[in-house]
Amino acid sequence: MFTRILKYNIFNGTKLELINYIEKFDKVNIISGNPEVLHNGLNNELLFSSFTGKNAVIIPDGVGTVLAAKIIGKPVKEKIAGIEVMEEIIKKCEKEGKSIYLVGAKRDILESCIEKLKIKYPNLNIVGSHDGYFDLKNCDHILKDIQSKKPYAIFVAMGSPRQDMFIIDNMDKLNCKVFMGVGGSFDVFSGKIKRAPKWMIGLGLEWLYRVSKEPWRIKRLTSIPKFLLQVIKYNKSKQK
Protein backbone atom coordinates (compact mmCIF):
# COMPACT_ATOMS: atom_id res chain seq x y z
CA MET A 1 0.00 0.00 0.00
CA PHE A 2 3.07 2.24 0.12
CA THR A 3 5.92 3.17 -2.19
CA ARG A 4 9.23 4.06 -0.56
CA ILE A 5 10.61 7.27 -2.06
CA LEU A 6 13.81 8.50 -0.44
CA LYS A 7 12.97 8.13 3.27
CA TYR A 8 9.21 8.55 2.85
CA ASN A 9 6.39 6.04 2.59
CA ILE A 10 4.02 7.36 -0.08
CA PHE A 11 0.48 6.00 -0.20
CA ASN A 12 0.14 4.18 -3.52
CA GLY A 13 -3.52 3.18 -3.51
CA THR A 14 -6.53 4.94 -4.98
CA LYS A 15 -8.30 7.94 -3.51
CA LEU A 16 -11.17 5.70 -2.36
CA GLU A 17 -8.73 3.30 -0.73
CA LEU A 18 -7.17 6.27 1.07
CA ILE A 19 -10.51 7.40 2.52
CA ASN A 20 -11.08 3.87 3.81
CA TYR A 21 -7.50 3.54 5.08
CA ILE A 22 -7.57 6.66 7.29
CA GLU A 23 -10.51 5.22 9.23
CA LYS A 24 -8.11 2.94 11.10
CA PHE A 25 -6.43 5.90 12.80
CA ASP A 26 -7.50 7.59 16.03
CA LYS A 27 -5.82 10.69 14.63
CA VAL A 28 -4.32 11.12 11.18
CA ASN A 29 -2.30 13.85 9.50
CA ILE A 30 -2.78 13.75 5.72
CA ILE A 31 0.17 15.35 3.94
CA SER A 32 -0.02 16.46 0.33
CA GLY A 33 3.30 15.04 -0.78
CA ASN A 34 4.34 17.17 -3.71
CA PRO A 35 8.09 17.51 -4.39
CA GLU A 36 8.33 20.94 -2.74
CA VAL A 37 6.79 19.74 0.52
CA LEU A 38 8.85 16.53 0.59
CA HIS A 39 12.05 18.38 -0.34
CA ASN A 40 11.43 20.82 2.53
CA GLY A 41 10.93 17.88 4.87
CA LEU A 42 14.34 16.46 3.99
CA ASN A 43 15.91 19.73 5.12
CA ASN A 44 13.89 20.27 8.30
CA GLU A 45 14.12 17.76 11.13
CA LEU A 46 10.80 18.76 12.69
CA LEU A 47 8.91 18.48 9.41
CA PHE A 48 10.60 15.18 8.55
CA SER A 49 9.73 13.71 11.93
CA SER A 50 6.10 14.70 11.43
CA PHE A 51 5.90 13.45 7.83
CA THR A 52 7.30 10.06 8.83
CA GLY A 53 5.41 9.73 12.11
CA LYS A 54 2.99 6.93 12.94
CA ASN A 55 -0.05 9.19 12.43
CA ALA A 56 1.05 10.55 9.06
CA VAL A 57 -0.14 9.52 5.62
CA ILE A 58 1.61 11.08 2.63
CA ILE A 59 -0.38 11.20 -0.59
CA PRO A 60 1.23 11.51 -4.07
CA ASP A 61 0.04 15.04 -4.78
CA GLY A 62 2.09 16.25 -7.71
CA VAL A 63 3.36 14.97 -11.02
CA GLY A 64 6.92 15.02 -9.64
CA THR A 65 6.03 12.53 -6.93
CA VAL A 66 4.26 10.30 -9.46
CA LEU A 67 7.36 10.43 -11.70
CA ALA A 68 9.60 9.61 -8.75
CA ALA A 69 7.57 6.46 -8.06
CA LYS A 70 7.97 5.42 -11.70
CA ILE A 71 11.71 6.07 -11.59
CA ILE A 72 12.19 3.61 -8.74
CA GLY A 73 9.96 1.04 -10.43
CA LYS A 74 7.12 1.14 -7.90
CA PRO A 75 4.46 3.38 -9.47
CA VAL A 76 1.47 4.65 -7.55
CA LYS A 77 -2.01 3.79 -8.79
CA GLU A 78 -2.94 7.41 -9.28
CA LYS A 79 -1.99 10.98 -8.47
CA ILE A 80 -4.08 12.05 -5.49
CA ALA A 81 -4.67 15.80 -5.27
CA GLY A 82 -5.03 17.21 -1.77
CA ILE A 83 -8.05 19.31 -2.70
CA GLU A 84 -9.83 16.19 -3.96
CA VAL A 85 -9.13 14.36 -0.70
CA MET A 86 -10.43 17.37 1.22
CA GLU A 87 -13.64 17.27 -0.80
CA GLU A 88 -14.06 13.52 -0.30
CA ILE A 89 -13.76 14.02 3.46
CA ILE A 90 -16.28 16.87 3.28
CA LYS A 91 -18.72 14.60 1.42
CA LYS A 92 -18.19 11.92 4.06
CA CYS A 93 -18.81 14.43 6.86
CA GLU A 94 -22.02 15.69 5.27
CA LYS A 95 -23.29 12.15 4.74
CA GLU A 96 -22.38 10.94 8.23
CA GLY A 97 -23.26 14.09 10.16
CA LYS A 98 -19.68 14.86 11.14
CA SER A 99 -18.31 18.38 11.50
CA ILE A 100 -15.34 20.29 10.10
CA TYR A 101 -13.32 23.35 11.11
CA LEU A 102 -11.44 25.64 8.72
CA VAL A 103 -8.25 27.56 9.52
CA GLY A 104 -6.42 29.75 7.04
CA ALA A 105 -6.53 32.19 4.12
CA LYS A 106 -7.65 35.82 4.26
CA ARG A 107 -10.92 36.56 6.01
CA ASP A 108 -12.82 37.38 2.81
CA ILE A 109 -11.56 34.23 1.08
CA LEU A 110 -12.43 32.12 4.12
CA GLU A 111 -15.95 33.54 4.32
CA SER A 112 -16.51 33.02 0.60
CA CYS A 113 -15.18 29.45 0.88
CA ILE A 114 -17.64 28.70 3.69
CA GLU A 115 -20.50 30.24 1.76
CA LYS A 116 -19.76 28.18 -1.36
CA LEU A 117 -19.31 24.97 0.63
CA LYS A 118 -22.69 25.47 2.32
CA ILE A 119 -24.34 25.94 -1.06
CA LYS A 120 -22.72 22.82 -2.51
CA TYR A 121 -23.13 20.74 0.66
CA PRO A 122 -26.19 22.15 2.45
CA ASN A 123 -26.09 19.57 5.25
CA LEU A 124 -22.40 20.08 5.99
CA ASN A 125 -21.72 21.15 9.58
CA ILE A 126 -18.95 23.78 9.60
CA VAL A 127 -18.63 24.36 13.34
CA GLY A 128 -16.00 27.09 13.24
CA SER A 129 -13.28 28.92 11.36
CA HIS A 130 -10.43 31.38 11.67
CA ASP A 131 -8.35 33.18 9.07
CA GLY A 132 -4.66 32.37 8.74
CA TYR A 133 -3.33 35.66 10.07
CA PHE A 134 -2.28 34.98 13.64
CA ASP A 135 0.80 34.19 15.72
CA LEU A 136 1.37 30.44 15.75
CA LYS A 137 2.85 30.71 19.24
CA ASN A 138 0.00 32.84 20.58
CA CYS A 139 -3.23 31.24 19.38
CA ASP A 140 -4.77 29.73 22.51
CA HIS A 141 -8.09 31.43 21.74
CA ILE A 142 -8.28 29.53 18.44
CA LEU A 143 -7.30 26.24 20.05
CA LYS A 144 -9.93 26.68 22.77
CA ASP A 145 -12.59 27.31 20.14
CA ILE A 146 -11.59 24.20 18.21
CA GLN A 147 -11.56 22.14 21.40
CA SER A 148 -15.03 23.31 22.36
CA LYS A 149 -16.44 22.51 18.88
CA LYS A 150 -14.83 19.03 18.65
CA PRO A 151 -14.73 18.79 14.82
CA TYR A 152 -14.11 15.49 13.07
CA ALA A 153 -11.74 17.15 10.60
CA ILE A 154 -9.69 20.33 10.59
CA PHE A 155 -8.38 21.77 7.34
CA VAL A 156 -5.47 24.22 7.56
CA ALA A 157 -4.83 26.44 4.54
CA MET A 158 -1.72 28.50 5.28
CA GLY A 159 0.84 27.07 2.89
CA SER A 160 3.76 24.83 3.77
CA PRO A 161 5.56 24.84 6.16
CA ARG A 162 3.33 27.20 8.21
CA GLN A 163 0.28 24.92 8.05
CA ASP A 164 2.47 21.92 8.91
CA MET A 165 3.87 23.70 11.95
CA PHE A 166 0.36 24.51 13.19
CA ILE A 167 -0.57 20.84 12.96
CA ILE A 168 2.71 19.68 14.53
CA ASP A 169 2.29 22.07 17.47
CA ASN A 170 -1.36 21.29 18.14
CA MET A 171 -2.26 17.80 16.94
CA ASP A 172 -1.84 16.30 20.41
CA LYS A 173 -3.87 19.10 21.98
CA LEU A 174 -6.92 18.90 19.72
CA ASN A 175 -9.58 16.22 19.78
CA CYS A 176 -9.99 15.89 16.00
CA LYS A 177 -9.60 12.75 13.91
CA VAL A 178 -8.42 14.23 10.60
CA PHE A 179 -5.78 16.96 10.29
CA MET A 180 -4.88 18.16 6.83
CA GLY A 181 -2.84 21.02 5.41
CA VAL A 182 -4.59 22.10 2.22
CA GLY A 183 -2.55 24.99 0.83
CA GLY A 184 -4.60 27.13 -1.54
CA SER A 185 -7.72 24.95 -1.47
CA PHE A 186 -9.86 27.60 0.22
CA ASP A 187 -9.09 29.92 -2.72
CA VAL A 188 -10.38 27.28 -5.12
CA PHE A 189 -13.54 26.53 -3.14
CA SER A 190 -14.20 30.27 -2.80
CA GLY A 191 -14.07 30.67 -6.57
CA LYS A 192 -11.14 33.08 -6.53
CA ILE A 193 -8.92 30.55 -8.29
CA LYS A 194 -10.02 27.86 -10.74
CA ARG A 195 -8.45 24.43 -11.08
CA ALA A 196 -7.05 23.36 -14.42
CA PRO A 197 -9.41 21.78 -16.97
CA LYS A 198 -9.92 18.05 -16.42
CA TRP A 199 -7.93 17.16 -19.54
CA MET A 200 -4.88 19.02 -18.19
CA ILE A 201 -5.25 17.36 -14.78
CA GLY A 202 -5.50 13.98 -16.52
CA LEU A 203 -2.27 14.62 -18.42
CA GLY A 204 -0.43 15.76 -15.30
CA LEU A 205 -0.28 19.36 -16.50
CA GLU A 206 -2.10 21.08 -13.65
CA TRP A 207 1.21 22.67 -12.62
CA LEU A 208 1.45 24.33 -16.04
CA TYR A 209 -2.04 25.77 -15.73
CA ARG A 210 -1.29 27.16 -12.27
CA VAL A 211 1.93 28.77 -13.45
CA SER A 212 0.09 30.37 -16.38
CA LYS A 213 -2.36 31.93 -13.92
CA GLU A 214 0.19 32.69 -11.19
CA PRO A 215 3.62 33.21 -12.83
CA TRP A 216 5.33 33.68 -9.46
CA ARG A 217 4.89 29.94 -8.91
CA ILE A 218 7.56 29.15 -11.51
CA LYS A 219 10.29 29.66 -8.88
CA ARG A 220 8.74 26.88 -6.80
CA LEU A 221 8.97 24.42 -9.69
CA THR A 222 12.74 24.18 -9.20
CA SER A 223 11.98 21.81 -6.33
CA ILE A 224 10.79 19.17 -8.85
CA PRO A 225 14.13 18.53 -10.64
CA LYS A 226 15.98 18.80 -7.32
CA PHE A 227 13.69 16.19 -5.80
CA LEU A 228 13.90 13.86 -8.81
CA LEU A 229 17.69 14.12 -8.85
CA GLN A 230 17.77 13.17 -5.18
CA VAL A 231 15.52 10.19 -5.92
CA ILE A 232 17.75 9.00 -8.78
CA LYS A 233 20.94 9.33 -6.70
CA TYR A 234 19.38 7.66 -3.66
CA ASN A 235 17.99 4.82 -5.75
CA LYS A 236 21.39 4.18 -7.39
CA SER A 237 23.14 4.14 -4.01
CA LYS A 238 20.63 1.57 -2.69
CA GLN A 239 21.25 -0.68 -5.69
CA LYS A 240 25.01 -0.87 -5.11
Is 172 within a domain? yes
Cα separations in angstroms, 98 against 3, 103, 150, 158: 31, 17, 10, 23
Number of folded domains that form the chain: 1
- Summarised one tens digit per residue, pLDDT across range 203-216 is 676 766 677 777 76
Is 56 within a domain? yes
- Structural domain span for residue 209: 13-239
- Summarised one tens digit per residue, pLDDT across range 150-195 is 999 999 999 999 999 999 999 999 999 999 999 999 999 999 988 7
For the chain, 240 residues long, the average pLDDT of each consecutive 10-residue run is: 95 96 97 93 95 97 92 94 97 98 98 98 98 97 97 97 97 96 95 82 71 70 84 79
Which of 204, 180, 162, 238 shows the shortest CA–CA distance to 65? Answer: 204
Is 128 within a domain? yes
pTM as predicted: 0.93
Is 3 within a domain? no
